[in-house]
Structure 1
Amino acid sequence: MSSKGEHQTVPLSVLLRREQQNEKIENPELSYGQASQSKKGEDFTLLKTECQRNVGDGVATFSVFGLFDGHNGTAAAIYAKEHLLSNVLSAMPSDLNRDDWVAALPRALVAGFVKTDKEFLEKGKPSGTTVTFVIIDGWYVTVASVGDSRCILETSDGEIYSLSADHRLETNAEERQRVTASGGEVGRLNTGGGTEIGPLRCWPGGLCLSRSIGDRDVGEFIVPVPYVKQVKLSTGGGRLIISSDGVWDILSFEAALQCCRGMSPEAAAAQIVKEAVQPKGLRDDTTCIVVDILPLEKNAPPLPPPKKKGVLKGMFRKKSAESSSNHDQEYMEPDVVEEMFEEGSADLSERLWLDDLHLQIAHNVCDDSNNRLMACRLDTKYPLCNMFKLFMCAICQVEIKPGEGISIHAGSANRRTRPWDGPFLCQTCQEKREAMEGKRPSGVRYNSDSD
């Protein structure tokens, strides 16, 4: 028998058992619930499982959970709920395998958020909305967010991860600096006589957020470019809590998880909302979505709360008592969450450009179109016409005639990129990008002269 150490041999029985389990848990079981208490009626949710996408001759499924916390009316939240998913998917290439599809999501989410904002602003309505948008494909969880709703993850062994960003000017110094550098003013509400009250806000408009969809009446430095984080869970699973600021203004991440431990997702969501509302009463729309991600064979009643308060232990069993053995416990793999992607920059030239893996995807897509291959090969001196779809705007997906597209690298000081390299933007999306980055007069929203 080999001694424990670096070159320890794993018993064949354990390897066979792992292989059998991996076949069963390629896709997790999702269980979810939501709850809300409404004061203004401006919170909306999207819960959509079993969404289908084409993969070769078959189809694959994924799930979407979205929280839209509107302000100054409901129009922006409703529009984003109805159109954001389709706008994200329109920016994705077709017939990708899971790994490539997941790798392409961060860029597509950026394009989808900006396109949704651009389309909504054309309607001339003044409202805005925060968005926390979660896509689950197998064990991959991808979260895109603007505003102050938040998404957190607790793994099966009690580790807590934040999967979103808080874009409040009060708490985000980096965003305050970005807004002022783009021409905005940040300060508190002045009631006269030098007295200032309330949270930090951006002027004009008085919005306390630095990122949102909509908000036509504020400067272009309030951007719809989302923070995106993507992780891969272990097969131990985990619990997601997606909540509006009405929850996080009252509860810490640990308190939100602790108050609902051992509950089903539906009961957990209701309990979190109750805990958030009780201390000060209902002051704002308060909404919560809870999603449990579990292997199929672990779809069992939740564990009871731990006896010792304040200790964050795992919610889910790693193995049932019947299947456990000394060998299983000795060779049990750690419950690790692998970070696949994280980026929060508001610079579109950074967010629409792709890393080596994405470039390979684009190369493969181009190879499928022989008559256009020489126009966009990545390993020659020829310019890249478009990362995913040839001669289309990287944001709004409108077709662009050759030579009319504006490269996101135009005017860049980066020597590694050239102004004729893609992705490309149409004229209106380029104007929006310039305004968002403070390169044209602030306060003139997209296409405002036509309304």
Structure 2
Amino acid sequence: MSSRGEHHTVQLSVLLDRESASEKISGPDILYGEANQSKKGEDFTLIKMGQPRVPGDEGSSFSVFAIFDGHNGSQAAIFSKEHLLDNILAAIPPDLDRDDWVAALPRALVAGFVKTDKDFLEMGKNSGTTVTFVIIEGWIITAASVGDSRCIFESAEGDIYYLSADHRLECNEEERIRITSRGGEVGRLNTGGGAEIGPIRCWPGGLCLSRSIGDMDTGPLIVPVPHVKQVKMSSGGGRLIISSDGVWDALSAEKAFECCQGMPPEAAAAQVVKAAIEPKGIRDDTTCIVIDILPREKPAAPLPQPKRQTKRVLKSMFKKKTSESTSQTDKYNVEPDIVEELYEEESAMLSERLDTKYPLCNMFRLFTCAICQVDMKPGEGISIHAESPNPENSRPWDGPFLCSSCQEKKESMEGKRGVPRYNSDSD
């Protein structure tokens, strides 16, 4: 996550082994606070602390923080809050050790988002929701996002990192290209006299976002496949801010951190919301969660530590992870003092996101759908590699496998069929 010339990809197993081998480094303390000013009542949060990765083992815990910003009603946001975490965890094979569990999170997040979307659309509701979903396990942060809520991180060293991507069509050219290349239309609302007003939207449906959960009426081009980013913090920890677009429409990342510097998390969250709505009043649901991730031997406040008189570095939202790797593990034997990127993937193609780039034993259960987790008979599953555009890469015998329903969902999302995302009758 440093500049391109300085960036190094480090194997996850190396990082985790180094952490566990160091007697000086223990799991962090996590403190949080949340605040909200409601206008439409469509923002919801999910906070779960100390969730056991291994049932009955309190030492294997992780924490979850999420914001669901609904639109066209609150049904999709409420449904996602109630079911998304369970769907993510169901996509992780049982009995994985910690290294493999953490490495499996990105694929499981993709599967969980898509299953939640699929299940909600079967209810025939037109509501939709953005989601920013964060799992903290030890010093590892894994964030998944669809829509325009954001998660940003300020390290103890004073750098600011975007852990989410913004899927608002107005500012994301890649998503506009993706939609138009598959036959969709992108443009502003035409008033009839030739004048165009408002933000750039996708048609049909008129949604200004390119990814969400729900939104049955928008067709297959609005997808639930999340951007996923995984980083390892330095041992100094840092502060996370997760907020709905009511905050980011008014504040930059730097302003959000500056306005609450030195405050404990609960006061900080309230201050961010206050700073966002003060200039023009409340125009949208405005929700903020502030999380301090602290070394246990250090006091809880103030965080972040005072900076040297140098300009902070704002990391690019759309920075691509390089494929560079190194076998010189000796150079990583000391605890780093910077945030290190472990994984980042932005692709909206479900087949690409379900594939794996890391070797994991029993990663794919051959007779279980990789999305909905339904058990299948031998031979029923359809490999995600079965329809590879490159015949040389076609591996129809190789997993992961999808059931026929989820295969149809994948084809619809990837623009292979001009059909709605679901044809369920509305209630």
Q: Shorter-chain-normalised TM-score: which range?
A: 0.7 to 0.9
The alignment status of 1:335 with 2:337, answered yes or no, reads yes
Q: Displacement, 1:26?
A: 2.0
Shift of 1:237: 0.3
1:150-180: CA deviations, max 9, x gaps?
0011000101110000001110011001111
Match of 2:354 in 1: 352
Aligned to 2:60: 60
Which secondary structure state, in structure 1, belongs to the residue aligned with residue 251 of structure 2? Answer: coil
TM-fit CA distance, 1:195 = 1.1
Contact 1:258 1:310 in 2 (8 A): no
1:207, distance to aligned residue in structure 2 (A):
0.2
TM superposition shift of 1:263? 0.4
Q: CA deviation at 1:361?
A: 2.7
Structure 1: unaligned runs, 5 residues or longer = 1-17, 314-331, 363-386
The partner residue of 1:399 within 368, 375, 386 is: 375
**Partner in structure 1 of residue 91 of structure 2:** 91
Query: What's the counterpart of residue 422 of structure 1?
Result: 399
Q: Does residue 1:438 correspond to 2:415, yes or no?
A: yes
Q: Secondary structure at the match of 1:79?
A: helix
Q: How much has 1:116 moved relative to structure 2?
A: 0.1
Secondary structure of the structure 2 residue equivalent to 1:23:
coil
User: Matched residues in 1 for 2:67 and 2:46: separation?
Assistant: 6
Deviations 1:81-100 (A, max 9, x none): 00000000000011222111
- Cα deviations across residues 212-258 of structure 1 (Å, max 9, x unaligned)? 00001111110000000000011100100001111111111111111
Q: TM-score, normalised by structure 2?
A: 0.86
Alignment of 1:218-297 (within 5 A): 218-297=218-297
Q: Give yes or no for contact 1:112–1:395 (8 Å, CA) kept in 2.
A: yes
* CA displacement at 1:57 relative to structure 2: 7.6
1:412 aligns with 2:388: yes
Asked if the contact 2:413–2:421 (Cα under 8 Å) also holds between the matched residues in 1, the reply is no
Contact 1:44 1:67 in 2 (8 A): yes
Q: Which amino acid aligns with 1:410?
A: A
**Residue 302 of structure 2 corresponds to which residue in structure 1?**
302
- The higher-RCO structure (CA 8 Å, 6+ apart) is 2
Give, in whole Å, the separation in 2 of the partners of 1:285 and 1:145.
18
- Cα separation, partners in 2 of 1:93 and 1:186, compared to 1, 3 Å: same
Deviation at 1:416, TM superposition (A): 3.4
Aligned length: 389
Shift of 1:21: 11
Mean alpha-carbon deviation: is it higher for 175-184 or for 81-90? 175-184
Return the TM-score normalized by structure 1.
Answer: 0.82
CA contact (8 A) 2:158 2:307 kept: no
Contact 1:25–1:296 (CA under 8 A) maintained in structure 2? no
Counterpart of 2:380 in structure 1: which amino acid?
E
User: Equivalents in 2 of 1:251, 1:134: separation in Å?
Assistant: 21
| 2:366 equivalent among 390, 414, 430 | 390
1:450: Cα distance to partner?
A: 9.4
Distance, in Å, in 2 between the alignment partners of 1:409 and 1:86 is: 27
Check 1:424–1:306 CA distance in 2 against 1; reply closer, same or farther (3 A cut): closer
> Structure 1's 242 and 58: CA in aligned 2 closer, same or farther, altered over 3 A?
closer
SS at match of 1:410: coil
What RMSD in Å do the two structures reach over aligned CA positions?
A: 2.4
Q: Distance in 1 between matches of 2:213 and 2:252?
A: 26
Q: Which residue of 2 aligns with 1:200?
A: 200
Aligned partner of 1:113 in structure 2 is 113
* Max Rg structure: 1
What is the alpha-carbon distance in structure 1 between the residues aligned to residue 258 and residue 213 of structure 2? 32
Aligned pairs for 1:18-97 (under 5 A) are: 22-23=22-23, 25-54=25-54, 60-97=60-97
Counterparts of 1:305-316 in structure 2, within 5 Å, are 312=312
Residue 131 of structure 1 is matched in structure 2 by 131
Deviations 1:266-323 (A, max 9, x none): 111111111110111100001100000011111333169859999659xxxxxxxxxx
Residues of 2 paired with 1:304 and 1:396: CA distance? 41
